[in-house]
Amino acid sequence: MFTSVLMIEKPLTSEDVEFVTTLHGEEGVSFVVLMQPRGDQADVLLRAIDDVAVGELREAVREGEEPEGAEAKAPAERALEHSLAALRAAGCEAVGHLVEDHPLNKLKSVVDEADADEVIVLTEPHYVEEFFHRDWASRARHKVGVPVLKLFAHSE
C-alpha cells in the first residue's frame, strides 16, 4: 500500500479525488489528509494579490469577508470530513487532521508517523508565495525527506 500525505486548503472536488487517487495506477493508496483552516496559512493581502493576478477581482474584494482563525475551524472540519468521505468512496483508506499549529511541523510529524511515501500539496495558485518559495510545497521539500508533489486544485 502506497501512503500519501495530502495537504489541502479547501474541500476536494470530484476532479481532485479522481486525480489524486489515480496517480499511482492500480496500486492501493492510503491518504493522511491535513487541512489548514483558512486564515492560518496566509494573510488577506497575499490572497487578494493572488486573486488579482489570476483576474478574479470579485474574489479579491471578498477576501475580507471570509472567516479566519477560530471562526474558520468549523468550516475546515466540514471540508475535511467531506474530503475524507470522497476519498473513501473512491476506494482509498483515508484519515485526516486539522492543522492547528505550524503546518510544516505537523506535516513532518505525520510523514514520520505514517511512514509516508510522498507528500501531495493540493492548492490554489499562490503566486506571491511561490515567487519567493514560501509556499507549502517549496518549504516542505526541505523538511520532510520524501518526494513532494505540488498540484493545483480544481474548482467546482
pLDDT (tens digit per residue) in 73-103: 888 899 999 999 999 999 999 999 998 777 7
pLDDT at 125: 61
Quick one: DSSP state of residue 29?
E
Cα separation, 62 vs 137, in Å, equals: 26
Question: What are the CA-CA distances from residue 44 to residues 60, 63, 86, 104, 107 (Å)?
Answer: 9, 6, 29, 20, 23
pLDDT at 25: 86
> Around Cβ 45, how many Cβ atoms within 10 Å?
12
pLDDT along the chain (156 residues), means of 10: 92 94 90 80 52 55 52 85 97 93 85 95 66 62 84 70
pTM: 0.77
pLDDT at 66: 56
Residue range 124-133, pLDDT digits in tens: 765 555 554 4
